[in-house]
Amino acid sequence: MNVSVVSRGELRLAGIKVVGRRTELSHRVPLAWIELVERLDSIPHLVDRSVFYGSFPESDHQRASNDGVYTYWVCTEVSACGALTEGLRPLVVPARTYATARVEGAAEAIEATYVGLARWIEVQGKRVDAQAWCLERYDQRRQRVTPPYEWFDYEVFKPLDA
């Protein structure tokens, strides 16, 4: 697995916040992606209609359990946080440094990438910042964010402690 350390500036997002148990999110998140894609024309200051971000608090990932409640945002980047239509909310992710790797393959590649990235971080003597946002960056030219999901091709960004 190819892992890089990258610094990203502040990321302004507009999106839909999805909350639920892990089993609920597997149904709710795809529905939220469909809604977001359908509403792109109503989002002011849209940066790139082909690029999307999934974002969740790293703390949710740290305490992973089947019964816990998780938060996942389906988002698109905006150049300014203007007025949003009902159901869309702003999310600002502060500038920071991330370890990043690419998920590429069938569904099994998702877990393999997250596990491999965690191992790489540990071997490098780095730590994940549990108080920060984890990002998944989707480019529609490589993978659609709307179902059906058969092949995955997106980047994962794990926030590193300073």
Distance CA 43, CA 81 (A): 10
Residue 26 burial by Cβ neighbours in a 10 Å radius (0-12, 13-18, 19+): exposed
Q: Contact at 8 Å (CB) between 127 and 19?
A: no
- Angstrom distance (rounded) from CA 44 to CA 40: 9
Q: How far apart are CA 54 and CA 21, in angstroms?
A: 17
Compute mean pLDDT per 10 residues along the chain, 162 residues long, and list them: 96 97 93 98 96 94 72 97 92 98 97 96 96 97 94 98 86
pTM attached to this predicted model:
0.94
Structure confidence by residue, pLDDT tens digits, 28-71 = 999 999 999 999 999 999 999 999 999 999 988 666 566 788 99
In angstroms, the CA 101 to CA 105 distance is 13
